[in-house]
Amino acid sequence: MHIYTKKQIEAALDVPALIKKIEEGLVYYAKKQTITAPTSFLTFDHPRADIHIKSGSISEDEYYVVKIASGFYENPLRGLPSSNGLLLLFSRDTGALQAILLDEGRLTDVRTAIAGAISAKYMAPPSVTTIGIIGTGTQAREQLYHLQFVTPCRKVLVWGRDEPKAHLFAQDPLFSDFQIGVAKSIDALAASCNLIITTTSSHDPLLFAHQLKQGTHITAVGADDGEKQEIDSSVFDVADLIAVDSLLQCSKWGDLSHAKNKESLVIRELGDIIEHPPNRAEHAITLADLTGIAVEDLQIAKEVYSKLREIGS
Amino acid sequence: MHIYTKKQIEAALDVPALIKKIEEGLVYYAKKQTITAPTSFLTFDHPRADIHIKSGSISEDEYYVVKIASGFYENPLRGLPSSNGLLLLFSRDTGALQAILLDEGRLTDVRTAIAGAISAKYMAPPSVTTIGIIGTGTQAREQLYHLQFVTPCRKVLVWGRDEPKAHLFAQDPLFSDFQIGVAKSIDALAASCNLIITTTSSHDPLLFAHQLKQGTHITAVGADDGEKQEIDSSVFDVADLIAVDSLLQCSKWGDLSHAKNKESLVIRELGDIIEHPPNRAEHAITLADLTGIAVEDLQIAKEVYSKLREIGS
């Protein structure tokens, strides 16, 4: 049994390999070749915290995964990151624990961002003019960082409720290759961007149909618990194609759960879009609604574990 | 963060302290002062396996627990134990992982047996004449071992589908203080015993009302997933008092889920029985239906972790 620290794990992140592995996982999921338990939620007050526990495997796999990811929202007031957690890989053959990945929530952030990059890879317009990032937190950074691997566009507008944080984001040395401007409003951002990523924990819709340019793709990663919402129902009404990581989860907790006219929507699971990429019309508006699924945790844990063993950590 | 092996954990098991701690947890649960997620189940074929993931905390607690316990049923054919798993203790203050208890399923076995011992402590007749153990596996041994702490009775009858295994059980050096006989049938066992523990993974009822002596208490620990059943509905009909560890879980997965006349039953949660012990009538028939709850995992993990730190492991 192997135990790895966050530092070891971070040294073993190979983004192109992870994109490939998570794409494979999404395809297995869409083909119903995975075995997953419903996500377990724990919610605490004093201090305020959410814990998500995801678990599962692919039908014919060597491993199963259990992933615990927490958000302790008062941690930043004490100089601690809000995210924490770990991943456990077990043998599907004997049940023996194979690896403990003490990622402190990092792999959840990364696989979420990679699912966003995969959505953009298959759904964004062929020529992305400006990337719009709504939100200025950890996931906003992870999303932009991982988009580098799927689009050559380096022009970005960022918007956040807290404008100083948006400026900090724009000046982040991680993004020295980008030209990043701060948008005064979501209206202004949407007017200039044809690839928009929403990464907030908003409980009210931020993005509306009337704000969107034709030919825009939106990836929404914030809503994952039934109370959060970033995308107004009107966006679903005008979208030509909607991708979801999990139809089951997005119907319950995603932005999709707030859509009013579900029966008239064209919805496909992301794994199905990977297998059968759509022909994007020039003016099409598309949307990916992501809630995070256990098979992504499984695939990132397997890939990282394999890399860690390869480099002899 | 501390990591402990099964061997270290076994050296830190203090049964009287664990009984006290798990009683406290059951009381918190019955008073609805716990926060728990529904149990997650994963089920695999080739090889056949079940995984149960339980998680939770007490309202005002220092820790939350996540417990993974697996049964890989083809392991014994290869000389491996079927049970495996681990417990994780996290800070309720920051979400940081505090301890990894690599118990390989042992603490689940122990806390299940302790819940059985607690049931006997509060519900068994004052004079237990003979203990009846139905089943001959690991949990049968754990139950009998832990009953020593709550009853002076050392006379036992054991019954198993596999008679040679019942003889091995009777001769187990762990039970050198006991006089253990092998019962030819469940009928014969029930005719002699006034404290009966069922510990099988049967899918069909084994114990029926007509077999029972007056003044018998039964603790049923096998049924925990909706398909398993040890106790016939007729036993519920004649029982004067039924205890459940969790009304919610037992209604879904316990033997109670198979009871036909639920509305006429007197059912109390075990924690409520601990707080307000019943006056047992001499001829009463009583039943405890146990499915295992996260607060037991939390309490055993906390007690063992505290002991491990005390002894400086």
DSSP secondary structure letters along A207-250: B-GGGPPTT-EEEE-S--SSS---B-HHHHHH-SEEEES-HHHH
| The token pair that represents A91 in the structure block | 């043998």
Interface of B with A in 73-92 (CB under 8 A): 75, 78, 80, 84-86, 88, 90, 92
Cα gap B65→B295, rounded to integer Å? 8
Residue A264: CA count within 13 A, CB half-sphere? 10
Angle value at C-alpha B85, between B82 and B88, nearest 5 degrees? 170
Model confidence at B11, pLDDT cuts 50, 70, 90, reads very high
What residues in A contact B36, CB-CB < 8 Å? 42
Q: How far are the Cα atoms of A59, A300, B230 from residue A53, in angstroms, in the given order?
A: 20, 16, 31
Task: Give tens-digit pLDDT for A53-98.
Answer: 999 999 999 999 999 999 999 999 999 999 999 999 999 999 999 9
Cα gap B130→B156, rounded to integer Å? 5
- How far does the CA of residue B107 sit from the closest CA of chain A (Å)? 16
- Report yes or no: A93 and A61 within 8 Å, Cβ to Cβ: no
Phi-psi region of B56 (alpha: psi -120 to 50; beta: other; left: phi over 0): left
Point out which residues pair with A44 in neighbouring strands.
A49
What residues in B contact A84, CB-CB < 8 Å? 90, 94-97
Q: Would you call B96 an interface residue with chain A, using a CB distance cutoff of 8 Å?
A: yes
Least Cα distance to A289 among A262, A234, A260, A249 occurs for: A249
Q: Would you call B6 an interface residue with chain A, using a CB distance cutoff of 8 Å?
A: no
B193-204 burial: b if 16+ Cβ within 10 Å, else e? bbbbbbbbbbee
Q: How many other C-beta atoms can be found within 10 angstroms of the C-beta atom of residue A236?
A: 23
Burial class (CB in 10 A: 0-12, 13-18, 19+), A270: buried
Chain-chain contact of B53 with A37 (C-beta, under 8 angstroms)? yes
* Pairing outcome for strands A34-36 and A49-58: antiparallel
| CA dihedral (A114, A44, B302, B288) positive or negative | negative
Cα gap A188→A124, rounded to integer Å? 20
| The token pair that represents B50 in the structure block | 């079940």
- Report yes or no: B143 and B195 within 8 Å, Cβ to Cβ: no
* Pairing outcome for strands B49-58 and B63-72: antiparallel
Chain-chain contact of A70 with B55 (C-beta, under 8 angstroms)? no
**pLDDT of amino acid B87:** 98
With CA atoms as reference, the chain B residue closest to A64 would be: B42
Q: Return mean pLDDT, chain B.
A: 95
Residue from A59, A65, A70, A101 to probe the interface with B (highest B Cβ count within 10 Å): A70
Task: Give tens-digit pLDDT for B154-181.
Answer: 999 999 999 999 999 999 999 999 999 9
Q: Would you call B2 an interface residue with chain A, using a CB distance cutoff of 8 Å?
A: no
- Report yes or no: A158 and A172 within 8 Å, Cβ to Cβ: no
Q: How many other C-beta atoms can be found within 10 angstroms of the C-beta atom of residue A281?
A: 13
Distance of CA A217 to the CA centre of its chain: 15
Select the more confidently predicted residue: B257 or A272: A272
User: What is the mean pLDDT of the segment spanning B67-76?
Assistant: 95
Residue reference for tokens 């203990």:
B131
| The token pair that represents B186 in the structure block | 């469940």
Q: Would you call B38 an interface residue with chain A, using a CB distance cutoff of 8 Å?
A: yes
Task: Give tens-digit pLDDT for B200-255.
Answer: 988 999 999 999 999 999 999 987 777 888 999 999 999 999 999 999 999 898 88
Q: Fill in the DSSP letter of residue B151.
A: -
| The token pair that represents A130 in the structure block | 């400006």
With CA atoms as reference, the chain B residue closest to A51 would be: B95
Output phi, psi for A62, to 5 deg.
Answer: -85, -25
Chain-chain contact of A55 with B70 (C-beta, under 8 angstroms)? no
H or E element: which one contains B218?
strand B217-220
H or E element: which one contains A198?
strand A195-198
Q: How many other C-beta atoms can be found within 10 angstroms of the C-beta atom of residue B55?
A: 26
Distance of CA B38 to the CA centre of its chain: 18
- Report yes or no: B284 and B240 within 8 Å, Cβ to Cβ: yes
User: What is the mean pLDDT of the segment spanning B24-30?
Assistant: 98
- Report yes or no: B265 and B240 within 8 Å, Cβ to Cβ: no
At A141, the amino acid letter reads: R
Least Cα distance to B120 among B224, B221, B36, B257 occurs for: B221
Chain-chain contact of A55 with B72 (C-beta, under 8 angstroms)? no
With CA atoms as reference, the chain B residue closest to A102 would be: B97
At B161, the amino acid letter reads: R
Residue from A1, A36, A42, A55 to probe the interface with B (highest B Cβ count within 10 Å): A42
At A103, the amino acid letter reads: D
Q: What is the pLDDT along chain A (313 residues), one digit of tens a residue?
A: 999 999 999 999 999 999 999 999 999 999 999 999 999 999 999 999 999 999 999 999 999 999 999 999 999 999 999 999 999 999 999 999 999 999 999 999 999 999 999 999 999 999 999 999 999 999 999 999 999 999 999 999 999 999 999 999 999 999 999 999 999 999 999 999 999 999 998 899 999 999 999 999 999 998 777 788 899 999 999 999 999 999 998 988 888 888 898 888 889 999 999 999 999 999 999 999 999 999 999 999 999 999 999 988 6
- Report yes or no: B212 and B238 within 8 Å, Cβ to Cβ: yes
What residues in A contact B1, CB-CB < 8 Å? 102
Chain-chain contact of A94 with B72 (C-beta, under 8 angstroms)? yes
Cα gap B260→B135, rounded to integer Å? 25
- Say which residues have a Cβ less than 8 Å from residue B307's Cβ, sequence separation at least 6: B12, B14, B17
Point out which residues pair with A102 in neighbouring strands.
none
* Pairing outcome for strands B241-244 and B155-159: unpaired
Cα gap A220→A209, rounded to integer Å? 14
Residue A170: CA count within 13 A, CB half-sphere? 19
Chain-chain contact of A40 with B57 (C-beta, under 8 angstroms)? no
**Secondary structure (3-state) at B170:** helix
- Report yes or no: B197 and B92 within 8 Å, Cβ to Cβ: no
Cα gap A140→A161, rounded to integer Å? 13
Residue B261 has pLDDT above 90, yes or no: no
Chain-chain contact of B47 with A96 (C-beta, under 8 angstroms)? no
What is chain B's percent helix, strand, coil content, to nearest 5?
35, 25, 40
**pLDDT of amino acid B225:** 74
**pLDDT of amino acid A312:** 83
Q: pTM for the whole thing? A: 0.92
- Report yes or no: A41 and B36 within 8 Å, Cβ to Cβ: no
Residue B262 has pLDDT above 90, yes or no: no
Least Cα distance to A297 among A12, A61, A69 occurs for: A69
Tally C-beta pairs within 8 A across A and B: 106
Q: Shortest CB distance from B40 goes to which of A38, A70, A86?
A: A38
Residue from A75, A90, A91 to probe the interface with B (highest B Cβ count within 10 Å): A90
